[in-house]
Structure 1
């Protein structure tokens, strides 16, 4: 049913990613509450501190791109987990704002380093199997991570039943321990070593910026990533303020998406295995475009149709996300020049970073004009991404688009 890749040599990698995701799912929803309730930092300052540290950490993908060819993706991934463990452990004892800011910055740098190296390590693991395993690997690891996030979020909800500061301390401490366990698992995994050796064959070229076509791919991927991010950024506000629906709907709607993401990645790859990666990504973009217009139109629907309409909206969105996710990363991996994959995938991480920065601001600015406007903008962005994908694919290696 799930069409899994060959895992025999890489079980520690799969377990490490799962452990990482469980820890992140536990502490992620409670981090801001930890800063305000345990560290006693005012909400505005806490939010500004997190935003500032995330912004500073944006330099990390470029720096990782400069050194990953020499150090290897696996080594950077291990260092990233250690940094995140150290940063969160520091938060357990930090109480004044400068100390908290330093700890969150260390954790944010580790997080960016993780996403700047994990794709290269997964791509390297996929090289131990047949060519089509690359898509299966990215689908499988997405499933593992989404399942971990969901389990972690459920655990976070259970922790909130405990009194006082204990839930927040346990959440941060558990996540720090998960990062440490993940680093230990990665130490015994064999993934990533081939990337280091291959990239070392071109030490001078690996330090340059990606080629112009690949930078174009990063830009197109950022547009797709915006479509993938905007639901999480704006669904709650749209449900409550745009549609005047109960806030209690938001959790179950996001849970539907999480469950589908956790279970549907590999089946989606299997069902579309005969289609090229570019065709699948363009199909996802078209679905997102239709989804955006449909979601915008819910503001015109009668009250009795809002709940089923929102459920259908999340289902359509999830289909696009399932189609796009693993194909996008696999395409980016194979579109990189030989010997420079880990370096290029470090830069590719900017597509997600830019989308995560842009989505909340664009949603807020357009929603203030009209509640339907963010979804119309998303529809247009999806169509632009489709056109851009078709055009940029002509300048990238044709074999990267293979089914």
Structure 2
């Protein structure tokens, strides 16, 4: 008894070592492999399942519509483009609904609607019905992204910056797994294989909704009496930052759209480098996004990260452009260096963009402001293929340098507009 009492007295808190072990985070948590709290882990799992299904569909969508539904490729491109454009307009109003009614429930229902719209694609055979299903799905996707913003903020905890970066890494890891899974189905190239991918995506939305249902409800932040559903649209400084981020967001399509066409049509680099570049980009994002986001925890540091990203995009695009006309091995080296530097720019841009969309938005209107910010990034994805085709592919190396210069300018001016947004915020800064 005396020995036992002595052990307890020697312990500063009077508890035994077993109690301490229960209080210590696990090795996986300490190493940053899983989030600290249960709600954070739940949302991360929902993110992985959701992005896994969406990634599978993105890889195989064109083949599904042409080989299974029987649509001409021109109609497929038109349908996907129209749906993407229509989906842009759902973010602000549904984001406001999430702010006032609770983000978890709104996000959950948007996932369910996406699942229903995706499942409907296996039943339709005409272009117009396909277009309706795609538009409904895109509206729900855009709205869900706006509703998810307050949810991430609500459960992100004290280290919200790190958690956002972690979710970004999870999404990229899911995309890589999705590409592998879709590759097996494409290899079979049969109707049942493509139907399985589409239905798998539909099930992923439903599964994500079921996982999100396990989250605790996030109560809405009380809004000032003067608040209204269109505050974000009236916040000119925030709109300006959104436009600049949208311009910078065109970089997402550089490695996905422009680089493969550049490698095939303008360089002697080996063709396998197309897949290799995507692999390098994804691996770096998965491994380094959390680290790259350290210190980007307010609007000032976010503006600086955006400025650094613009410079990195220019250097990376210049290296990729220089590969034209070089011997095969030199072209390979130039493109690999360009991809690595471009990805560094992507890491900085992501860190800055995520911080700005949260920190410049009032706490009571996170969903509404997320919807507006998502509109800018979504519009960039719609126009990016055309911009990249005209500049990088049709014009060649000068076009790569010109677009890189646009990124530099956008990055340089972003901190000035961030300071304007801080000075003219429509509501006093509220705690998260």
Fold-level similarity (TM above 0.5): yes
Residue 391 of structure 2: which of 358, 362, 366 is its match?
366
Partner in structure 1 of residue 24 of structure 2: none
Instruction: Give the TM-score taking structure 1 as reference length.
Output: 0.90
Whole-angstrom distance in 1 between the partners of 2:404 and 2:225? 41
Partner in structure 2 of residue 185 of structure 1: 211
- Listed one character per residue, the Cα deviations across residues 318-373 of structure 1 (whole Å, up to 9, x for unaligned) are 11111221332122201112422221111110121121122111111123542213
After TM superposition, the structure 1 stretch with the greater mean CA deviation from structure 2, 65-74 or 109-118, is 65-74
What is the root-mean-square deviation of aligned Cα atoms in Å?
2.3
Instruction: Give the TM-score taking structure 2 as reference length.
Output: 0.85
Partner in structure 2 of residue 309 of structure 1: 334
* Displacement over 6 Å in runs of 4+: 271-275
Q: Is the 8 A contact 1:285 1:383 kept in 2?
A: yes
Q: Is the 8 A contact 1:135 1:327 kept in 2?
A: no
Partner in structure 2 of residue 205 of structure 1: 228
Confirm whether residue 162 of structure 1 aligns to residue 180 of structure 2. no
Change over 3 Å in CA distance of 1:310–1:54 after alignment to 2: same
- Listed one character per residue, the Cα deviations across residues 237-264 of structure 1 (whole Å, up to 9, x for unaligned) are 1111121434332111111111111221
In structure 1, list runs of 5 or more residues that go unmatched.
none
Whole-angstrom distance in 1 between the partners of 2:171 and 2:212? 15
In structure 2, list runs of 5 or more residues that go unmatched.
1-30
Partner in structure 2 of residue 263 of structure 1: 287
Confirm whether residue 240 of structure 1 aligns to residue 264 of structure 2. yes
Partner in structure 2 of residue 250 of structure 1: 274
Q: Which has the higher contact order (CA 8 A, sep 6+)?
A: 1
After TM superposition, the structure 1 stretch with the greater mean CA deviation from structure 2, 182-191 or 25-34, is 182-191
After TM superposition, the structure 1 stretch with the greater mean CA deviation from structure 2, 21-30 or 334-343, is 334-343
Partner in structure 2 of residue 69 of structure 1: 99
Whole-angstrom distance in 1 between the partners of 2:302 and 2:403? 22
The number of aligned residues is: 393
Confirm whether residue 134 of structure 1 aligns to residue 160 of structure 2. yes
Partner in structure 2 of residue 333 of structure 1: 358
Change over 3 Å in CA distance of 1:341–1:365 after alignment to 2: same
Whole-angstrom distance in 2 between the partners of 1:123 and 1:96? 41
Change over 3 Å in CA distance of 1:371–1:214 after alignment to 2: same
Partner in structure 1 of residue 6 of structure 2: none
Change over 3 Å in CA distance of 1:4–1:384 after alignment to 2: farther
Whole-angstrom distance in 1 between the partners of 2:131 and 2:415? 43
Whole-angstrom distance in 1 between the partners of 2:105 and 2:364? 17
Whole-angstrom distance in 2 between the partners of 1:135 and 1:279? 15
